[in-house]
Structure formats: structure tokens, C-alpha cells
Amino acid sequence: MRTTPARVEVREVMDIRMASDYLGISPDTLYKYASDGFVPAFKLGNRWRFKRSRLDEWMDQQSSQGAQPRKAEPHPDVTQPRKPQSVVPRPKRAVGGSR
């Protein structure tokens, strides 16, 4: 009986499971990265799709940045907390005072 070696086919357009296997991360993490716009992805209908060539380019860019910290950009749908216009200091209370 002849057996063929298991062959993992990497397609150009991958679904979330295939792309997470390709990148070596969990599907849940990849879903979050795609939703946040951290990895290159597009939606086909209501499902995320990933082009292998775009992921390869993205990984090259990430690895060329090295260990430089990345400044997180706020998501456009998330409003940032506003600083109060004026802050009036509150008087400090005595600690251990009599009642």
C-alpha cells in the first residue's frame, strides 16, 4: 500500500482558519486583528478573507520594524475620553481625626 505525504495547500485567498494556521495564531486573535485593522484583510459577504501575498508583505514590514514600539492608532468608531474643561481641587480630609 502506497501512502502519500500529507500536503498542506496554502491558497492565495484564505479564510480565517487557514490564515490563522498560516500565521501561527489562534482564529480568535486573527479575528480581533482583522476587526481592528491590524492585519490586511477584507470581507467577502460577512466573512473575513486574507490574501497570502498581502500577509507576507505585512509580515515583512512588521519584521523590518524590529522591536520598535508601535503607537496604537485609535479606532475611528471609538470616541476618546474628553478631558474636563476646568478642574477644581477638592479640599483634603483629615486622616485619623476625631468623629
- Residue ranges per structural domain of the chain: 13-64
Q: CB-based contacts of 10: which residues, under 8 Å, 6+ apart?
A: 18, 22, 52
- What grid cell was written down for 31? 479575528
What's the pLDDT at 67? 52
Does pTM surpass 0.75? Answer: no
Give me the residues of the chain with pLDDT under 70, please. 1-10, 66-90, 96-99
Q: CB-based contacts of 12: which residues, under 8 Å, 6+ apart?
A: 51, 52, 53
What's the pLDDT at 21? 95
Which residue type sits at 16? I
Cite the beta strand spans of 4-99 per DSSP E: 13-14, 42-44, 47-51
